[in-house]
Structure 1
Amino acid sequence: MLTKLQHAENAWGGKIDLIDQWLNSRRQLLIQYCQIAALAPYDTSNDTLPEANDINNFCNSLVDYVSEGHFEVFQQVIAECKKRDQQSQQLVSQVLPQITDSTELALDFNDKFGVKVTGSDELWLQLDEQLSKLGQALEDRFALEDKMLELLHRQYSEEAQPSS
């Protein structure tokens, strides 16, 4: 996921503040995810569970990320696509419901783990499985978001081009 993020940053970064902000939020979320999931380069290799505070912080970032998408970034993409062609509008109308599926999974994860889980809580037993499901959903979501970001980037790039 971090490699795909790097490709997205290389392709669209540095040109539009909204995209830069969005990709930076994604980077921070991925770093936190890798830390609590003990993925490289944060693999602790000693089978310790993440700290409840770290999970709580991740859940806060997760909710912030999906909220930012739905209430800021996607609204701007939709507005820009309305100015464009029917094909762009059609792509957005196909992609948004799929993104919403991952939003629901993220909010469910937050509902389960967003409160401080104690060491004796049975939720700890579900953490690895739930993190794995969430990781797959996030990877799928990022691919869909990238389609929308490409549309937004293309729109701004065309507007910046001098008319011939």
Structure 2
Amino acid sequence: MLKKLENAEQKWGGANKLIDQWLSSRRNLLVNYFQVAGLPPYDSDEKSLPPFENVKTFCNLLVDYVSEGHFEVYDQVVTACEKQGESGQTLARELLPKISSSTDFVLDFSDKYTSASSDNILLELDDDLSRLGSSIENRFAYEDELLEVLHEYYS
């Protein structure tokens, strides 16, 4: 996922402030995901659960990222798609529901870990992070298609 982000930053970075901000938010989210999941380069010899507060912080970043897309970025993307004609409109209509389906998963994940009354919930974290990773990776792929439209519009 980080390699794909680096490719996106190289391809679209610097074209527009909104795109740069969105990619920066994605980077921050991914770094925190890797830290919480204990993935390289944040893995350690000691296999232990992350602190519960780190998981809650990650959940906040996750919700912030999703909210930024839905309430700041997607509207501008849809406008750009509309100005590019029928093909752009069709793309937006196809991609936004796919992105929204991952939003439900993200919110469920966040609710589960931020509303938990005990850190025993962390025993389920590995499996949940694995499913979340797949979901956000798919989301990023759909968002990248939207970023391409934004990039073309602002270039």
TM range (shorter): over 0.9
User: Using the alignment, how far apart are the partners of 1:92 and 1:130 within structure 2?
Assistant: 29
TM-score by length of 1: 0.91
- Number of residue equivalences: 155
Matches within 5 A, 1:14-163: 14-115=14-115, 118-119=118-119, 121=120, 123-157=121-155
Q: Would the aligned equivalents of 1:62 and 1:106 in 2 still touch at CA under 8 Å?
A: yes
The alpha carbon displacement at 1:46 in A equals 1.0
User: Using the alignment, how far apart are the partners of 2:70 and 2:23 within structure 1?
Assistant: 15
Query: Residues 83-116 of structure 1: CA distance to partner in whole angstroms, max 9, x if unpaired?
Result: 1110011011101111011110000000101236
Runs (4+) of structure 1 exceeding 4 A deviation are none
Kindly, what percent of the aligned residue pairs are identical? Answer: 51
Q: Would the aligned equivalents of 1:52 and 1:117 in 2 still touch at CA under 8 Å?
A: no
For structure 2, the residue ranges without an aligned partner over 5 or more in a row are none
User: Using the alignment, how far apart are the partners of 1:101 and 1:8 within structure 2?
Assistant: 22
User: Using the alignment, how far apart are the partners of 2:143 and 2:32 within structure 1?
Assistant: 19
Q: Would the aligned equivalents of 2:52 and 2:122 in 1 still touch at CA under 8 Å?
A: no
User: Using the alignment, how far apart are the partners of 1:64 and 1:38 within structure 2?
Assistant: 22
Structure with bigger gyration radius: 1
Query: Residues 21-71 of structure 1: CA distance to partner in whole angstroms, max 9, x if unpaired?
Result: 000000000000000000000002311100111001000000000000001
User: Using the alignment, how far apart are the partners of 2:38 and 2:19 within structure 1?
Assistant: 28
Q: Secondary structure at the residue paired with 1:137? A: helix
TM-score by length of 2: 0.97
For structure 1, the residue ranges without an aligned partner over 5 or more in a row are 158-164
